[in-house]
Amino acid sequence: QVQLVESGGGLVQAGGSLRLSCAASGRTFSSYCMGWFRQAPGKEREFVAAISWSGDKTYYKDSVKGRFTISRDNYEKTAYLQMNSLKPDDTAVYYCAGKENLYERDQPDRYRYWGQGTQVTVSS
């Protein structure tokens, strides 16, 4: 079992940065691939980024490439999403999630574990 808790969300002006954290409990964090998703009001939950269990493979939604960076620290049992050059369209609740492999990594229903979400609001 893995429990996930996100933090680091908040209100930021366009062009600013935020770093989201996803703290995991349980001994098997390093065995799981991690993903970040987001959901804006009235929209479906969408894939943002994913990282392999070892951290050597990362994947991104096209619109965040070059602005967002996903990383993880298996010793600290924490995944991160560094978000730079934020835009108002990035406004959403951001969720971290865990799954056993990278197959269908952009499909939310393939993830077993989910955090409660953290709100990110980017003002123009």
CA distances from 100 to 49, 105, 108, 118, 120 (A): 15, 10, 13, 23, 27
pLDDT level of residue 113 (50, 70, 90 thresholds) = very high
Rounded distance, CA 110 to CA 26, Å? 20
Rg (CA), the chain: 13
Q: Is the pLDDT of residue 5 over 90?
A: yes
Once rounded to an integer, what is the mean pLDDT over residues 24-51?
94
pLDDT at 93: 98
Q: Is the pLDDT of residue 29 over 90?
A: no
Rounded distance, CA 7 to CA 80, Å? 10
Once rounded to an integer, what is the mean pLDDT over residues 28-50?
95
Q: How far is CA 58 from the centre of its chain?
A: 12
pLDDT at 38: 98
